[in-house]
Amino acid sequence: MNGRDPRSAILAGFLLLVCFLPCDAGSDSLETPPSPTAQAQVTLLVPWPDSFPGFVFEVKAADAPNDQGGTLNLEWPIFPLDSGYAEAFWGYRVFRATNPQGPWDSIGWTRPSGPQDSIFSATTGYSDSTRDGQAYYYCVRAYGPGGSRISATAGPAVSSAQWFHKARLNFLILTVIFGAAIIYYIERAKKMKLFIRRISGLDAIEDAVGRATEMGRPILFSFGLSVLNDVTTLAALSIFGRVARKAAEYATPLLVPHNDPMVMTASRETAKQAYAEVGRPDLYNEDNISFLTSDQFGYAAGVDGMVMRQKPGAVFWQGYFYAEALILAETGHSVGAIQIAGTTAIEQLPFFVVACDYTLIGEELFAASAYLNPEPQMMGSLKGEDLLKALIMILIGVMTVLGTLGVILSGPHGPSLLSRWFDRIANWFTQI
């Protein structure tokens, strides 16, 4: 070795060997597939069959439906040797080009998706992010221990945005029906008085305020643990406005403890406007509308203490309540106050029903605005919602009968006509 280090010779030989290795050996680097109809010429230890009778390896490229653009969907049949396991089949590499002759770029890799069925109908796919208006061409190469096979070229495919989401047509139809019902009842309310059944809890507001006035006791109003962006709080604010006007007319103190500072601000503005509307702004006392604490049971303890000390003649529990509902209602009952509750919390309704004199159940709380202030817009909205609820109840009854009869009439030859109709109607609604 002429005095040279034998390790240097070994290193030089190794580098020479590496330089002469094929550039794609042992890597997933970008490849340039042959012409669209050619197949990969790869010779490995166990070569793949030249063809599979009845199998056509081709890619379908199409614009993604009902989207904002920028996406093309690719679909191709699962390769016959794809068993779903990486040991027997490696996967698929997807190539893209802007010209059918190339150059081709590798844009993605998908794992085995098999197995394929006997008639080669099972497919797999890939979604590609593209630039709208640009034509793209695609091909897919299947890889396995025994070789690889390239598909025919698909394209040109162009992505674009769709103006209308066809899969949401059912939602559009229901929206039009609902909107038309509300508009119809609004116009009808402008011409005549629409009927709304009496809600005893709302009718008792004036009696409750009057009783507290006669007894020389204040009125207490609680929104519970409601937050301002809750629709229940907005409904409770409309009831609070009515209570505040009556309290101003009778010059009765109104106490409003809060759990949320935003709700406190809204109720202060509502009370100030109510006192001004009846011409008694001098009776408005901002300190009576206070913030206690944001802690659940800390708030319950504070309200209970206020009830025991002030002994209100009328108590209103309007809003969303949790486990503190029974604690509050029992305390109000112990001081002999007339109590009117209203909440959409299903779990707390039984406690209010047994401990309070009147309870607004669920939808009755939302109907309070239209009931206390029967303007055409509110009345029309309320009646339109009631019509939609009635239609839903009728539809549920019809579907129940249709599904039951469909199952009874189905036989060994398959589902009956009623079952197929039931499935179509159910699928139409489940797409909403």
330-380 confidence digits (pLDDT tens): 999 999 999 999 999 999 999 999 999 999 988 888 888 788 877 888 888
CATH of segment(s) 25-157: 2.60.40.10
Q: Which two tokens stand for residue 82?
A: 């794809």
Looking at the predicted structure, is the pLDDT value of residue 32 above 50? no
Residues linked to residue 108 through DSSP beta bridges, in sequence order = 94
Average pLDDT score over residue span 79-107? 84
Q: Would you place residue 124 in the very low, low, confident or very high pLDDT band (cuts 50, 70, 90)?
A: confident
Six-digit token pair at 261?
A: 């500072």
Specify whether the CB–CB gap between 376 and 189 falls below 8 A: yes
pLDDT band at 275 (very low <50, low <70, confident <90, very high): very high
Nearest Cα residue to 115 out of 148, 147, 85, 74: 85
pLDDT of residue 341: 93
Nearest to 131 by CA among 63, 60, 30, 74: 63
pLDDT value of residue 280: 92
C-alpha span between 362 and 138 (Å, rounded): 57
Mean pLDDT of 24-51: 41
Q: What pLDDT, on the 0 to 100 scale, is given for residue 266?
A: 94
CA-nearest of 432, 372, 397 to 178 is: 432
More confidently predicted of 208 and 83: 208
Beta bridge partners of 94: 108, 140
Domain 200-373 has CATH 2.60.40: no
Q: What is the pLDDT of residue 48?
A: 62
Q: How far is the C-alpha of 83 from the C-alpha of 171, rounded, in Å?
A: 41
Q: Residue range 118-133: average pLDDT?
A: 84
Would you place residue 155 in the very low, low, confident or very high pLDDT band (cuts 50, 70, 90)? confident
Cβ atoms of 358 and 329 within 8 Å: the answer is no
The separation between the first and the last C-alpha atoms of the chain, rounded to the nearest angstrom, is 82
Residue 13 in this model has a pLDDT that exceeds 70? no
Write down the pLDDT at residue 8.
Answer: 53
Q: What confidence score (pLDDT) does residue 240 get? A: 94
Split at pLDDT 50, 70, 90, the class of 49 is: low
* Type of residue found at 66: N
Q: Residue 1's pLDDT is what?
A: 42
* Per-residue pLDDT at 432: 57
Residue 261 has pLDDT above 70, yes or no: yes
- The per-residue pLDDT for range 382-399, each reduced to its tens digit, is 888 888 889 889 999 999
Residue ranges of domains in the chain: 25-157, 200-373
Mean pLDDT of all residues in 16-38: 36
pLDDT above 50 for 431: yes
Check residue 300 and give its pLDDT.
Answer: 94
DSSP per residue over 287-337, as a string? GGEEE--SSHHHHHHHHHHHHHHH--SEEEEEEE--TTHHHHHHHHHHTT-
**Range from 6-10, 191-195, 363-367 carrying the lowest mean pLDDT:** 6-10
Contact of 19 with 11, CB cutoff 8 Å: no
Name the burial class of residue 271, with classes exposed (0-12), middle (13-18) and buried (19+) by CB atoms within 10 angstroms of its CB: buried
Residue 315: pLDDT band with limits 50, 70, 90: very high
* Closest C-alpha to 136, from 76, 70, 91, 66: 70
Q: What is the pLDDT of residue 2?
A: 45
Overall average pLDDT of the 401-408 stretch: 88
22-36, 230-244, 275-289: the lowest-pLDDT one: 22-36
Output the average pLDDT for the chain: 82
What distance in Å separates the CA atoms of residue 354 and residue 365, rounded to the nearest whole number? 18
pLDDT of residue 313: 94
Please give the DSSP secondary-structure letter assigned to residue 78. Answer: P
Pick from 163-172, 384-393, 396-405: least confident: 163-172
Give the per-residue pLDDT at 268: 94
User: Rounded distance, CA 188 to CA 183, Å?
Assistant: 9
Q: Averaged over 325-329, what is the pLDDT?
A: 93
Task: Give the per-residue pLDDT at 40.
Answer: 35
pLDDT category of residue 16 using cuts at 50, 70 and 90:
very low
pLDDT of residue 5: 52
Question: Average pLDDT in the 55-76 region?
Answer: 87
